[in-house]
Structure 1
């Protein structure tokens, strides 16, 4: 049987997806040791993990681009089984020091709700969505970065905390899961600076911290997913197409 004929006889595989939507902390998550890379490794041959992180973006821009990333009615062949929404590190920039990225906290809250509403309209219900708060800000380290860029300190940890609270409020109002990274990393007065590479972005230890808290939330959404296509020892030796062109759920 010719290859194209064989393929034509088999149903196409429904390859589920996990969507990671966020700013630079999401964009960088596929770097070595990143939390997104760890998710992709955990879920290999069960679903694709899509990195849709955009460095420097805030929720004002995020809600504009989201319809270009996931379209309504397109989830039949590649259903989104889980989605993380991880913004706030840029929204919380101080207006006087960084007006381009700054988004007022009330608007940030409304924008997050818009993102959740759109995802629901695109067949990603609230029980598949996880909102992640921005991590805490280590002001001394980030101030050094700002000076290197020729500007003054443009974020404050206390202000980031206001955005984290707003994010948690959206999760409660919308019925989604949430991961309060800002609070968890500062729990019991621990030194959270080790979780950050430059005061803002995650260090290797910070990536590990995030993954260890996020995975239980993801796992409960994907636990029923089968391994796609048979284990190699289970492939029929004489006629492999009998194994490989079935429903693919093994």
Structure 2
């Protein structure tokens, strides 16, 4: 038994702020992606509430490096910008934001995660009246504006193109054709149930081709030889 080869699960890593951290909650977009990839791939939540791209750039080498299982990573989502665009202590200047995204991509490439495995997710729009209520309830003034979030979204889109990464532009998609995007937001910033479904649907369309060839790991139970389960369960796939 001691000579058995350890099964290395492929990984999709979700790297982002609170919108990523909360994605494993009930009906969350990360949970839906994980459900689709059960028995094929681990979906790893590396979301950090309140973080911006500057802090993300600093911590990434502690999360994915040459000593970790970076060789098993099939995709990484990079989802920052909502906090960068805030006008409070979380703020990162617009000119610095794309440089941080580029640095994240360079680090990933340096440990074997190439740009074609990276999906940038641009921040969603802000429904200011809803978010202002949230701010007031916490004793502060409105600290995010939709137009500013749009500037960071545009910078994210441009940076993805420069880096050779894919882009999921939520700010644009959620406002397409002048639709009421408030249905996608629970509090004006974070995602509602419909917002999570929206992100999961669009992200899966981008992930599906990357994971299409991943095998079902370990045999389906009906395919196990009940008389000699070792022959089914302990052989290399």
Alignment TM-score > 0.5, same fold? yes
2:63 is the alignment partner of 1:74: no
Query: Larger C-alpha radius of gyration, 1 or 2?
Result: 1
The 5 A counterparts of 1:149-160 are 149-160=138-149
- Per-residue deviation at 1:74? 3.2
Residue by residue, what CA displacement relative to the aligned partner does 1:22-44 show, whole Å, maximum 9, x if unpaired?
00000000000000000110000
Please state whether the residue corresponding to 2:96 is helix, strand or coil.
helix
In 2, are the aligned partners of 1:127 and 1:176 still within 8 Å (CA)? yes
The offset of 1:72, in angstroms, is 1.8
Shift in Å, 1:14: 1.8
Match of 1:186 in 2: 175
Name the SS of the counterpart of 1:161 in structure 2.
helix
8 Å Cα contact 1:72/1:122 also seen in 2: yes
Length-normalised TM-score, structure 1: 0.93
2:97 is equivalent to residue 135 of structure 1: no
1:57 paired to 2:51:
yes
Q: Is 1:206 matched up with 2:199?
A: no
Q: Distance in 2 between matches of 1:55 and 1:208?
A: 20
For residues 58-78 of structure 1, give each alpha carbon's deviation from its aligned partner in whole angstroms, at most 9, with x where no partner exists.
Answer: 0110011101111125337x6
Matched, 1:163 2:152: yes
Q: What is the alpha-carbon distance in structure 1 between the residues aligned to residue 10 and residue 225 of structure 2?
A: 26
- Report the 3-state secondary structure (helix = DSSP H, G, I; strand = E; otherwise coil) of the residue aligned with 1:84: strand
| Alpha-carbon distance, 1:220 to partner | 0.8
Preserved CA contact (<8 Å) 1:58 1:103: yes
Q: Which runs of 5+ in 2 are unaligned?
A: none
For structure 1, the 5+ residue unaligned runs are 1-5
TM-score (norm 2): 0.98
Q: Please state how far the C-alpha of 1:12 moved relative to its aligned partner.
A: 1.2
Match of 2:84 among 71, 91, 100: 91
Number of the residue aligned with 1:3 = none
Q: How many residue pairs align between the two structures?
A: 237
